[in-house]
Amino acid sequence: MKIRAVRLGFIVLAVAIASALFVSSGMGAAKAKPKGDPPELIAKGKALYAKAPCPSCHGPEGKGDGPAGKGFPADHKPANFTTGVFKFGGDDAKVRESISKGRPPYMPPNPNMKEDEVAALSAFVRSLGPKKP
């Protein structure tokens, strides 16, 4: 009788430990999941940005200080991505739209750019803003 009780206690304990391990490992996996855009996507966007005509207007560091933008009117200056403020919307969908469809009359559209390239450029320009706390 006593032995059976001890054995039962052991089983209960073993189950409790196993489920605790299961829960904590599950939570660990959730924490490890990257928040925001994956670094590889941002890096791909950075490389594309440098190759594309973007820097001529938005500047090499995305500060909106490229030579081609100098003559643009004050209310249509090339966006300074380091502010993290997006006139046309700063979520991924809006930024992709800005890149592929353009924002007339000064931001040119990129109709032939591939979907994954637009996604990478979007991730990159959004990554230039101040880090959120």
Rg (CA), the chain: 25
Q: How far is the CB of 28 from ligand HEC (least distance, A)?
A: 36
Q: Residue 120 interacts with ligand HEC (CB under 6 A)? A: no
Q: Residue 56 interacts with ligand HEC (CB under 6 A)? A: yes
Q: What does the alpha-carbon distance between residue 117 and residue 2 come to, in Å, rounded to a whole number?
A: 69
Q: How far is the CB of 98 from ligand HEC (least distance, A)?
A: 4
Count CA atoms closer than 13 A to 83's CA, side-chain side: 11
Interface stretch with ligand HEC, choices 3-11, 21-29, 32-40, 74-82 (CB under 6 A): 74-82
Q: Residue 88 interacts with ligand HEC (CB under 6 A)? A: yes
Tell which residue, 95, 37, 97, has the closest CA to residue 62: 95
DSSP-assigned beta bridge partners for residue 103: 107
SS3 112: coil
Residue 100 CB neighbour total at 10 angstroms: 18
Q: Residue 107 interacts with ligand HEC (CB under 6 A)? A: yes
Residues lying near ligand HEC in the complex (CB under 6 A) are found at: 52-54, 56-58, 68-69, 72, 76, 78-79, 86-88, 95, 98-99, 103, 106-108, 110, 121, 125
